[in-house]
Chain A
Amino acid sequence: MTEPGHRPQDPQPPQDDEERVSVPQALPEGPDLLAEEALPSDVVEVAARSQWQIFRRKFLRHKLAMGSLFFLVLVVLAAFNAERIAPYAYDEINVVRASTPPTFADAHFFGTDQLGRDYFSRVLFGTQTSLRVAGVVAVLSTLIGTVLGAIAGYYRGWIDSVLMRLTDLVIIVPAIAVLLLAATFFGQGDPLRIAVILALLLWTSLARIVRGVFLSLREKEYVQAARAAGAGDMRIMFRHMLPNTIGPIVVNMTLVLAAAIIIEATLSFLGIGVNPPTPALGVLINDGRSSMQTLWWLTIMPGVALVTIALCINFVGDGLRDALDPTQQEG
């Protein structure tokens, strides 16, 4: 089970200091490059562009990440055009063709179930639902996590304390238990509701990362310079400091995306996520489960689709992290 906040990267060894200041896990030295030339605005633009170029070159060379990204784009395009691409409707029943194993005949690439519903089409539509939920979760939790983390790191104060107590809470209470509780009591099988619930529970790890970066950035000279020049708190936080945090935020977004897909599938599989008439990958896997002795493809096919998508997202995240990491040499 993938928990939010676990990241498949070379982690920094955890530190056990009293304050538990989160060490930003990606890009610890990233902001410095920009920091030196932050004041005159035209210089910033030149510096930012060259940063972007470095990033682009590094990412394009990351073959695994590029391949995954290409595949993901295909999947997203296919899933969101499922109405046009899918050979059948997801609920089209055809008893004559019931329980067909995967075959190229009649385009039943993933086989059919006991009612003759085409599983390739069902997986396409299911992927659409799952991607939609995960997308909402990623955007929403990134927004919440960035804003709260920035405020906590910049002002410290009670928001910071609350954030840190939440960290303690996460250690003691299994996250999946909280997710299941929330989904059972507030989800009601609606994809959008599930997405909002997940977003409200998955923002904490990003908030901690942003907080950590902001804690170190607020002491930088360019922040002091901006303050001396009369910039307000909001301007300093979101115009000056936030651009230097963009690396960890983007990387974390990919991780949340992968986590959200997996969690939504788990919830739907357990029957408290998306409700059955709507196809979602977890729902399809659960449907196939009862007949897994004979119709194995009903479990395997949506399952493989799920793992492949999550894996590709994680690979892209890995490539992004490498490309955004200025301590790594180009080449």
Chain B
Amino acid sequence: MLTYALRRTLISIPIIILATFLLFAIISVSGDPLQDLRQQPNITEEQIDNVRQSRGLDDPVAVQYLRWVENIPEGGFGEYLLAPRPIWPDIQRVLGNTMQLVIAAEILAFVIAVFLGVMSAKRQYSVFDYTTTTISFIGYSFPSFLFALFLQVAVVQIFVRTGVRIFPIGNLSSANPGTGLAFVLDRIWHLILPIASLAIFSVASYSRYMRASMLEVIHSDYVRTARAKGLPERTITTRHAMRNALIPTLTVAALSFGTLLGGTIIIETVFGLDGMGRYFFQQLGRRDPYPLMAWLTIVAVVIVAFNLIADLLYGYLDPRIRYD
């Protein structure tokens, strides 16, 4: 099992290398990264040449890329192209914030989706089932940025009309967040709308998978046996059927973790949260290849880690699965 997980992880290394190289090549091909610098009036041609030489921007793309890779073990992810500041501390800060958002959204989406999926499978073709199906269709058709905006509009309109501020529509914390429990509660209060916007698509997607796999399981022989034994319905659902039905949904959830991380680009930009997503979007605007590549590498590593966790969870949930 461990070797299996290890192999899966090893396979992803060349993919990460390929992805970062492609990104680097695209950015290099698409134009001059110093373009913005040139337009600033107080920058002389000499200074630009200095940057160009010290960073080796005239070298072939492959050489530049290799230099970047070599530098990772000791220098973190190096410095920004135009500012002598290390990239790694920034990434560390935003990564922590984003993980709070993404993990909360993932867990929330998973729990809601499992509940919806199980309930609509148990009552197939009922009003509840049709309602959930329709809602999941809406979830698929609702761009997350728009959902976030609608939530903001609603909250703002309520504030304008009643003077009650239900939720903040931006930032990670209040001006004076306090410490300890107060800080945590304040953070949760700020994150509720972003989490909801991020989770809606996942709820729609996971609940369809959960419903499908639950339908398959509850019509299987061993569930009928459990019912014939006279077990209470609740036990059959939770202990017998759900345990097996969870497995495919869990895979989907783990594989969709990257989608969720990608979704933070939009959600964090809309809500103005200091996280990975907004960081990516800001650096994209600056066309600085180095932080973008650092971002891509970190995100890929996080996604691989989550797939690994899902693989390990598998073995726990379903002892029938053999890894060899």
A residues near B (Cβ < 8 Å) are 1-3, 6, 8-14, 16, 165, 168-169, 171-177, 180-182, 184-186, 258, 262, 265-266, 269-270, 272, 285, 289, 292-293, 296, 299-300, 303, 306-307, 310-311, 313-315, 318
- How many B residues touch A, CB cutoff 8 Å? 64
> Does any Cβ of A come within 8 Å of B216's Cβ?
yes
Partner among B27, B143, B247 whose Cβ is within 8 Å of the Cβ of A306 = B143
B145:A185 contact, CB within 8 angstroms: no
Q: Contacts of A269 on B, CB cut-off 8 Å?
A: 145-146
A314's partner among B141, B145, B149, B160 (CB-CB below 8 A) is B141
Q: A168-B12, A171-B255, A300-B150 are in contact. Are A176 and B140 (CB under 8 A)?
A: no
Binary interface profile of B, 200-232, with partner A (CB < 8 Å = 1, else 0)? 010011001101110110000000000000000
Seed contacts A2-B141, A258-B140; 4 additional CB < 8 Å A-B pairs: A177-B265, A180-B284, A311-B138, A314-B137
Could you say which of A13, A181, A300 contacts B153, with CB atoms under 8 Å apart?
A300
Contact of B265 among A176, A296, A310 (CB under 8 A): A176
Q: Assuming the A-B contacts A8-B140, A172-B12, A265-B143, are A3 and B149 also in contact, with contact meaning beta carbons closer than 8 angstroms in the complex?
A: no
Residues of chain A lying within 8 A (CB to CB) of residue B261: 174
Once A8-B140, A177-B265 are accepted as A-B contacts, the answer to whether A172 and B300 lie under 8 Å apart by CB is: yes
> Does any Cβ of A come within 8 Å of B303's Cβ?
yes
Q: Across the two chains, which residue of chain A brings its CB closest to B280?
A: A177
Query: How many whole Å from B207's CB to the nearest CB in chain A?
Result: 11
- Which of A8, A300, A307 is in CB contact (< 8 Å) with B204? A8
Q: Which 4 residue pairs across A and B have the least CB separation, nearest first?
A: A174-B262, A13-B248, A310-B141, A185-B30
Inside 8 A of B299's CB, which chain A residues have their CB?
173-174, 177
Is the beta-carbon distance between B138 and A177 smaller than 8 angstroms? no
| Complex contacts, A11 vs chain B, CB 8 Å | 208-209, 212, 252
Check A10–B212 contact: CB distance below 8 A: yes
B314 — nearest CB in chain A belongs to which residue?
Answer: A16
**Complex Cα spacing A189 to B137, Å:** 30
Once the chains are docked, how many angstroms separate the CA of A245 from the CA of B223?
36
Measured between beta carbons, the chain B residues less than 8 angstroms from A310 are: 140-143
Residues of A contacting B11 in the complex (Cβ-Cβ under 8 angstroms): 168
Knowing A2-B143, A299-B153, say if A171 contacts B201 (CB, 8 Å). Answer: no
Are B307 and A171 touching (Cβ within 8 A)? yes
Complex-state Cα separation, A310 to B147, whole angstroms: 14
Q: A266-B143, A285-B149 are in contact. Are A14 and B252 (CB under 8 A)?
A: yes
B258 contacts A174, CB within 8 Å?
yes
The docked-state distance in angstroms from the alpha carbon of A129 to that of B141 is 18
B296 touches A177 (CB 8 A): yes
A168 adjacent to B141 (CB under 8 Å): no
Whether A10 contacts B208 by the Cβ 8 Å rule is: yes
* Known contacts A9-B208, A307-B138: A181-B145 contact under CB 8 Å: no
Contact of A293 among B143, B144, B160, B265 (CB under 8 A): B160
Distance in angstroms from B305 CB to nearest chain A CB is 11
CA gap between A314 and B19 in the complex, in Å: 32
B141 touches A173 (CB 8 A): no
Q: Report the separation of the CA atoms of residues A235 and B147 in the bound assembly, to the nearest whole angstrom.
A: 48
